[in-house]
Amino acid sequence: MLYLASQSPRRRELLALLGLPFGLLDVDVPEQRLPGEPPETYVSRVAREKAGAGLLAVVGAPGAVVLGADTEVILGDTVFGKPADADEAARMLSLLSGRAHRVVSTLWLVDAGREAHATCASEVHFAELTPAQIQAYIATGECFGKAGAYAIQGRAAAYVSHLSGSHSGVMGLPLHETARLLRGFGLFD
């Protein structure tokens, strides 16, 4: 049985698009970047830790396969996680305004005897945002719980002037890479 080690509604919706049955696991993994840790290494480590924690939760279930994922917004060497409050969201959005940034999603698929991973990197260009636009967006509440303080599948799509990469990857679960990993485990045609 496939399990998703995530409580993200977006990841659930995206994985459901593949038409596979899956269970959900609520894992508690600290998302803390280590000193000097490169952004891509951090994203991969957190995704792997989520998958591992999920596997520990279902270790007694025969045939359990766990998918862990992490997605982060990266500008230069700075990783923009989920904003703690409106001020942090405003700071993030101001820094992203009028610039291109990377969104990196890494997946780890693990079972009792094997593991595989994939990474999807996309480039997102934001239009120039006025302070009023930033405040209006924050007032919607959509920025909270989202890496980089925005949801590309929501109102923030109006601010994305160009996307090079995977739309589902920016949302949190790159479907092409997910399907490829699942195929490798014999779970998807």
User: pLDDT digit string (tens) for 76-108?
Assistant: 999 999 999 999 999 999 999 999 999 999 999
Q: Is 34 within a domain? A: yes
pLDDT digits 0-9 by tens, 149-187: 999 999 999 999 999 999 999 999 999 999 999 999 999
**Number of independent structural domains in the chain:** 1
Mean pLDDT of 146-150: 97
Residue 72 C-beta-side C-alpha neighbours within 13 Å: 24
Q: Cα(167)–Cα(172) distance, rounded to whole angstroms?
A: 9
Q: Is 189 within a domain? A: no
Q: Is 67 within a domain? A: yes
Q: Is 147 within a domain? A: yes
pLDDT at 116 over 90: yes
Q: Is 72 within a domain? A: yes
Mean pLDDT of 52-62: 95
Maximum Cα interatomic distance, the chain, rounded to a whole number of Å: 54
Q: How far is CA 142 from the centre of its chain?
A: 16
For residue 7, how many other CB atoms are within 10 A of its CB? 11
Q: Is 84 within a domain? A: yes
pLDDT at 35 over 90: yes
Which position among 70, 77, 87, 111 bears the catalytic label? Answer: 70
Q: Cα(180)–Cα(118) distance, rounded to whole angstroms?
A: 9
pLDDT at 147 over 90: yes
Question: SS3 for 129?
Answer: coil
Q: Is 56 within a domain? A: yes
Q: Is 6 within a domain? A: yes
Percent of all residues in the chain with a pLDDT value above 70, rounded to a whole number: 100
Q: Cα(100)–Cα(158) distance, rounded to whole angstroms?
A: 15
pLDDT at 189: 87
Could you tell me the residue range of the domain that residue 73 belongs to?
2-184
Which CATH number is 33's domain given?
Answer: 3.90.950.10
Task: Calculate the average pLDDT of the chain.
Answer: 97
Question: Is 70 known to be catalytic?
Answer: yes
